[in-house]
Structure 1
Amino acid sequence: MILLQVQQVARQFGAAVLFKKANLDIQENSRIALVGRNGIGKSTLLKIIIGQNAPDEGQVIKTKDLTIGYLAQDTGLESANTIYEEMLLVFQPLQKLETRIHQLEQQIATRQDTDSEDYQRLLNLYDQLMHDFKEKNGYGYQAEIRSVLHGFRFFEEDYNKKIASLSGGQKTRLALAKLLLEKRDLLILDEPTNHLDIDTLNWLENYLQSYTGALLIVSHDRYFMDKIVNEVYELTPQGTVHYPGNYTKYVQEKKERLLQEQKAFAKQQAKINKLEDFVNRNLVRASTTKRAQSRRKQLEKIQRLEKPQVKLNGPRFAFQSNHDSGNVVLKVNDLKIGYNDQAISGPINFELRKHQIIAIVGPNGVGKSTFLKSILGKIPVISGECHFGAQVDPGYYDQELKNLHDQKTVLNEVWDDHPTMPETDIRSILGSFLFSGDDVLKSVHQLSGGERARLLLTKLALNHHNFLLFDEPTNHLDIESKEVLEDAVLDFDGTVLFVSHDRYFINKVATTVLEITPKASQLYLGNYDYYLEKKSEQQLLAQQAENKELAATTSAANNSAASEYQRSKETQKTKRKLKREINQLETQLEKLEQQATVIQQQMAAPANYSDPEKIKDLQAKLTENSSQQKQAEQAWENKSIALDELQ
């Protein structure tokens, strides 16, 4: 069933058209990615879909009572509540139902007219509410809250923290956590992977794969899209193009489609040129005029194809080194890193050789960025050693983009580092990084995150280092810029060491993965998928070893039990008798507890509470009941101890 349709939607600003003829169908359980270049209007289209903005043309059709959850880009949860209080708000209707059930229980317990129709109606209502409570996960919603919070790295010690005291990234994660708990029919997520580490991303992917509603996602995380979506809509100024499959399939299909369009365009152009040439040569000749006129009519009827735009104007850059380094670029021995003499990870051991591209992975807080800064001498190491090899010239890309001067213009930021280079050459290089015209006269502090990232890459490319250290280089880049960076890294004639949570980027460029943990480091000689495969194998081997040990223990226990059985059938007979007696005592205790509950409810009834004789009688019964329970419990404990001794 179709939940929502976008039909011929257009958005414009004044006379400028952002996009037109956008069409999109969302079915139940759809898994859709909306992609397109930066600035094309993906977030704008999402806001039109949720009804926040109106389209300039076209319409959005929704099914009746459709519930939509929307996570805007970098929008955090704002609340005066604690973390757990805010998550409980999702289940307020369920909590009210739970309260109503308890009220009915009290009413039922105090009613005397158990044979009346009114009492029966009360029981029927109670049964219905209990059924609804169970169907809506009334017994498990708190466990569900804990599970989702744990997935987003909020633990029990965090539950009572005020949301107002959290960081922006934590608030964004909480906003997504609350949306997941709400279980809307359609979940629309704009850049949901921002502020998530790899472990959290893996958890979110697994959760979304089993999400019961439909998903519409805008993301720069290509690995995430590959895991989640099974169809892609590309938004262009001319409209949307639909592709079945995940993101990687979309890239392949788009290349094939563009190739076919190029061939069709070239074929049509050849036909048009041939017809035009015939018309031009023969229109004025009396003997061939009719034929020329016929060809001209054919030309007029041709539906001319637009020339395919093979590649949008994107950044163009490359890294080239001035000179080679030695074969060994970096040696790290027993290195421990941290701050204020407190180690946060290590010992780290590895050797980096020329032309290798190594990705550093590990949980948040383990010190991956600290490791790069320690290598460069920006932070003192706690212990151990790290040394550059011969002729190594390192260049560093800082994820915080601090290696820029806010008050300088874009032009001077580069030109001041290369004062002998002609201005035209500087402008040309900046143009290849998408800084053209008056853009080069902007102050650095006016630039967006993506622009600052491209400027830092410009400076890095101009310095011609032979060893590049990147700290989250894809953070502020759109997909097209990421692809250009990937090609530049792969074509680089030097050595690369980088930290990234972009798993697609790691997969594409890394030849080796270095995992850092608080206690050690380990190298995996392959890309990210290879790393995951080996980690899975290690976990499986560890589980198999644990199972083997458990099986050996169980086998020994079984053999011992079998020998014991053979030695003494009388012991087994005694055990069976004790178990029967224990079961009987447990049944007796259950009945006594039920009787005590009934007596207590009767004592709480207003009619009895004001009758001293009645209360005295009930108290005597409760005292007798308590004495019987103690005797039964003592007998149960004695027989349980006897049974344990025979086990």
Structure 2
Amino acid sequence: MILVQANDIRKSYGTDVILENASLVVQDRERVGLIGVNGAGKSTLLKIIAGEMTHDSGQIHIGKETTVGYLAQHSQIDSNATIWDEMVSVYADLKHLESKIRDLEKKMAEPSVYENETLFQQYSDQYARLSQDFTDQNGYAVDAKVRSILHGLDFPEPMHGRLVNSLSGGQKTRLLLGKHLLTQPNLLILDEPTNYLDIRTLTWLEDYLKNYPGALLMVSHDRYFLDSLITVIYEMERGKTRRWKGNYSAFLEQKAADMAQHQKRFDQQQAEIAKLEDFIQRNIARATTTKRAQSRRKMLDKIERIDRPMLSTEQAHFSFNIDKQSGNEVLKVQDVALGYGEKVLSRDITFEVLRGERIALIGPNGIGKTTLLKAINGKLDPLDGRLKLGANVSVGYFTQQQEDLTPTKTVLNEVWDAYPHLDLTRVRTVLGNFLFSGDDVQKLVSTLSGGERSRVALAKLMLLNANFLILDEPTNHLDLLSKEVLENALDDYPGTLLFISHDRYFVNRLATRVVELSENGVTSYLGNYDDYVEKLEQIAAEQREREALLAASTKSKTGSSTADIPLDDAQARRQADKEQKRIEKKRLERLAKVESRIAEVEEVITTLEEELCLPDIFSNHELALQKNEALQTAKDELDSLMEEWAELEAAGE
């Protein structure tokens, strides 16, 4: 059943055409993703479908039984109610019914009623009817539903009594999303629903929407999200739409194959046209062959020309380089506490960053991730502890809101003023690489979109040639193509990375270590996002195993034999045995890696100690200092490895 159908939609602002014959269909329970570069018209089309905006021409047909919920990018609730009351207002009719039931209970408890058999029976019948209606509408589950949605969207129970208008903009958007999830319209339209969500909340939303009973139509630049949820892709390019079956990864494969096939057909036709034109040119003037040439000309005129394949929309292209290499120890964070005034966000934060690492800093919103980056960059002081940058470390800092950009400057002056030693040609070339060409460089920073501001900030960062990049949500406001360009540039970057991102694909591609920030410190996980998830699952499995073994042990002590164990418990034991073997295999693999690394580090220590005895080095104070720092870092790593080795050995006993 078709829920909504948009045909040949056109929308323009003066001479600026946003949509040109754009079409889209969403059927019952379909999961549709609308993709395209920033400015392609995605949000405009969603607003038109949702009835929030008019269109110049074309038709929108929405089914008679279709209910539509629409969450715009910056939608917010303006309400003086509490968070709980605002959410429960979705069930106003059920709450009114519940109130009538409670009133009847009070009346039936009055002596004047229960002593009057006729009146009591009348109220009893009414009470039974209303109670059945309430049960049929699942009224008793209302509070549990609301509590579950609020918990999933990171509104813990102590917040439920807070006034909506006291919340931040991002929190108000999340709350409105929660109301839509409770309402459950047939068609839920979401424009960038992953904005303002941390990884934990994003994962919860993804899992929730997998079981959503209606259809989904969404714009998102989160590839993990699109791959996990979407079954149909509409690509929007140059005001038009094209439908592709499958998720985002399937779309990329299909489009690449389609482009290759289109190019092949175009090349074949061009070769055929060239042959015909050559024949005509050589034979049209000769009396003996002129008729054949004229025949070929007619054939040429009848050919339906294949358009030259259009390359994907213009992309930025850039790379990050360094002027000099840093020391091995890039950053040391020791017993740091973060917060503002009396409010402590996180404490006991201790970790190190070594040269060449790519560390993703994750954790729930409000835990202090951005605060930590600001402290590292000297933008604020930690409440306690010590932050120390290593030798020869030069920092490049990308802020989430691009606070370092000056609104009153032009794009050209914003970059040129930061690097006045560069000539105009070089600055314009760099800006051209970031898609600012012609008069675009004269735009005021204050008039730029979020994506354009990000590109200006990235241009300044690229020119810095820093060897330690600290990035706070660098993919915010970037479309899918721009994200890919940034990933490629950072993948080839020869320096060290510390970044915050809720884009799981971005973390997965770049991270060599994931550091999770909590109220009481950090936990470090080697590998990328998938490795982090696998480790969490392993920890959960080990916990279940311990619980199963404890339960089995308890039964054994009470005299139950294996034969007496119910089938489910026997299966649990077999599963526990299987899990134990897997854990042991992982332990042995890690033990081998640790032992190998210990041997490597010991060799490094031996070499450094020998070098420090050389006259050319111990007589050179600066060089000797670098060697000593490298030696201390190697010894610290060796101590850490030996501790891990001992733990792994003990785990196998």
TM-score (norm 1): 0.80
* 1:294 Cα offset (Å): 2.1
Q: 1:5 to 1:506 in 2, by over 3 A?
A: same
Other-structure match for 2:78: 78
* 1:531 Cα offset (Å): 0.8
Of 330-339 and 24-33, deviating more is: 330-339
SS in 2 for 1:416: helix
Other-structure match for 1:280: 281
1:514 aligned to 2:520? no
Q: Which runs of 5+ in 2 are unaligned?
A: 562-653
SS in 2 for 1:46: helix
* 1:3 Cα offset (Å): 1.7
* 1:329 Cα offset (Å): 2.6
Matches within 5 A, 1:361-400: 361-400=362-401
Other-structure match for 2:318: 317
Other-structure match for 2:142: 141
Other-structure match for 2:212: 211
Matches within 5 A, 1:208-607: 208-237=209-238, 239-340=240-341, 344-557=345-558
Q: Deviations over 1:297-322 (max 9, x none)?
A: 22222222222222211222111111
Q: 1:139 to 1:17 in 2, by over 3 A?
A: same
Q: Distance in 2 between matches of 1:103 and 1:416?
A: 72
Q: Deviations over 1:20-61 (max 9, x none)?
A: 332222121111111111111111111221233343333122
* 1:80 Cα offset (Å): 2.5
Q: Deviations over 1:86-137 (max 9, x none)?
A: 222211222233345567776896774599xxx89x9887665444322211
Alignment-mate amino acid for residue 55 of structure 1: H
Q: Distance in 1 between matches of 2:449 and 2:354?
A: 36
Count of residue pairs brought into register by the alignment: 556
* 1:331 Cα offset (Å): 3.5
Assess if the C-alpha contact under 8 Å between 2:199 and 2:364 holds in 1: yes
Q: Distance in 1 between matches of 2:551 and 2:538?
A: 20
Assess if the C-alpha contact under 8 Å between 2:321 and 2:462 holds in 1: yes
SS in 2 for 1:242: strand
Other-structure match for 1:37: 37
Assess if the C-alpha contact under 8 Å between 2:36 and 2:479 holds in 1: no
* 1:537 Cα offset (Å): 0.9
Q: Distance in 1 between matches of 2:298 and 2:480?
A: 45
Alignment-mate amino acid for residue 412 of structure 1: N
* 1:339 Cα offset (Å): 4.4
SS in 2 for 1:201: helix
Q: Distance in 2 between matches of 1:395 and 1:6?
A: 46
Alignment-mate amino acid for residue 477 of structure 1: L
Q: 1:238 to 1:74 in 2, by over 3 A?
A: closer
* 1:287 Cα offset (Å): 1.8
Other-structure match for 2:198: 197
Assess if the C-alpha contact under 8 Å between 2:227 and 2:247 holds in 1: yes
Other-structure match for 1:53: 53
SS in 2 for 1:139: helix
Q: 1:382 to 1:170 in 2, by over 3 A?
A: closer
Of 25-34 and 353-362, deviating more is: 353-362
Alignment-mate amino acid for residue 305 of structure 2: R
Assess if the C-alpha contact under 8 Å between 1:317 and 1:432 holds in 2: yes
Q: Distance in 2 between matches of 1:44 and 1:409?
A: 27
Q: Deviations over 1:389-437 (max 9, x none)?
A: 3322221111121222333322222222322321122111111112222
Q: 1:344 to 1:102 in 2, by over 3 A?
A: closer
Q: Distance in 2 between matches of 1:82 and 1:220?
A: 32
Assess if the C-alpha contact under 8 Å between 2:22 and 2:241 holds in 1: yes
Q: Distance in 1 between matches of 2:329 and 2:119?
A: 88
SS in 2 for 1:78: coil
Assess if the C-alpha contact under 8 Å between 1:8 and 1:59 holds in 2: yes
Other-structure match for 2:91: 91
Q: 1:283 to 1:481 in 2, by over 3 A?
A: same
* 1:177 Cα offset (Å): 0.8
Q: Deviations over 1:152-209 (max 9, x none)?
A: 2223332232222222111111111111111111100111111111121111111111
Assess if the C-alpha contact under 8 Å between 2:467 and 2:495 holds in 1: yes
Q: 1:406 to 1:51 in 2, by over 3 A?
A: closer
Of 233-242 and 382-391, deviating more is: 382-391
Q: Deviations over 1:53-73 (max 9, x none)?
A: 343333122221211111111
Q: Distance in 2 between matches of 1:428 and 1:188?
A: 40
Alignment-mate amino acid for residue 456 of structure 1: A
Q: 1:110 to 1:209 in 2, by over 3 A?
A: farther
Assess if the C-alpha contact under 8 Å between 1:331 and 1:351 holds in 2: yes
Q: Distance in 1 between matches of 2:37 and 2:224?
A: 17
Alignment-mate amino acid for residue 22 of structure 1: A
Q: Distance in 2 between matches of 1:309 and 1:513?
A: 40
Assess if the C-alpha contact under 8 Å between 1:37 and 1:480 holds in 2: yes
Q: Distance in 1 between matches of 2:244 and 2:382?
A: 50
* 1:490 Cα offset (Å): 0.6
Q: Distance in 2 between matches of 1:416 and 1:139?
A: 63
| RMSD between aligned residues | 2.7
Alignment-mate amino acid for residue 459 of structure 2: T
Other-structure match for 2:647: none
Other-structure match for 1:638: none
Q: 1:294 to 1:539 in 2, by over 3 A?
A: same
Alignment-mate amino acid for residue 177 of structure 1: G
Q: 1:328 to 1:270 in 2, by over 3 A?
A: farther
SS in 2 for 1:53: coil
1:28 aligned to 2:40? no
Alignment-mate amino acid for residue 497 of structure 1: L
Assess if the C-alpha contact under 8 Å between 1:341 and 1:382 holds in 2: no
Alignment-mate amino acid for residue 532 of structure 2: Y
Assess if the C-alpha contact under 8 Å between 1:346 and 1:516 holds in 2: no
Q: Distance in 2 between matches of 1:544 and 1:401?
A: 47
Assess if the C-alpha contact under 8 Å between 2:38 and 2:478 holds in 1: no
Q: Distance in 2 between matches of 1:8 and 1:412?
A: 42
SS in 2 for 1:175: helix
Other-structure match for 1:624: none
Other-structure match for 1:619: none
Q: Distance in 1 between matches of 2:548 and 2:191?
A: 43
Q: Deviations over 1:460-484 (max 9, x none)?
A: 1111112111111112322222111
Alignment-mate amino acid for residue 407 of structure 1: T
Of 251-260 and 190-199, deviating more is: 251-260
Q: Distance in 2 between matches of 1:336 and 1:238?
A: 50
Q: Deviations over 1:509-532 (max 9, x none)?
A: 222212222223232221111111
Assess if the C-alpha contact under 8 Å between 1:467 and 1:494 holds in 2: yes
Q: Distance in 1 between matches of 2:289 and 2:537?
A: 77
Q: Distance in 2 between matches of 1:154 and 1:110?
A: 48
Assess if the C-alpha contact under 8 Å between 1:474 and 1:502 holds in 2: yes
Identity %: 48
Assess if the C-alpha contact under 8 Å between 2:197 and 2:365 holds in 1: no
* 1:457 Cα offset (Å): 0.9
Assess if the C-alpha contact under 8 Å between 1:74 and 1:194 holds in 2: no
* 1:443 Cα offset (Å): 3.0
Matches within 5 A, 1:120-131: 129-131=130-132
Q: Distance in 2 between matches of 1:491 and 1:373?
A: 25
Q: Distance in 1 between matches of 2:338 and 2:118?
A: 75
Other-structure match for 1:645: none
Alignment-mate amino acid for residue 271 of structure 1: E
* 1:335 Cα offset (Å): 4.1
Q: 1:344 to 1:473 in 2, by over 3 A?
A: same
Of 281-290 and 127-136, deviating more is: 127-136
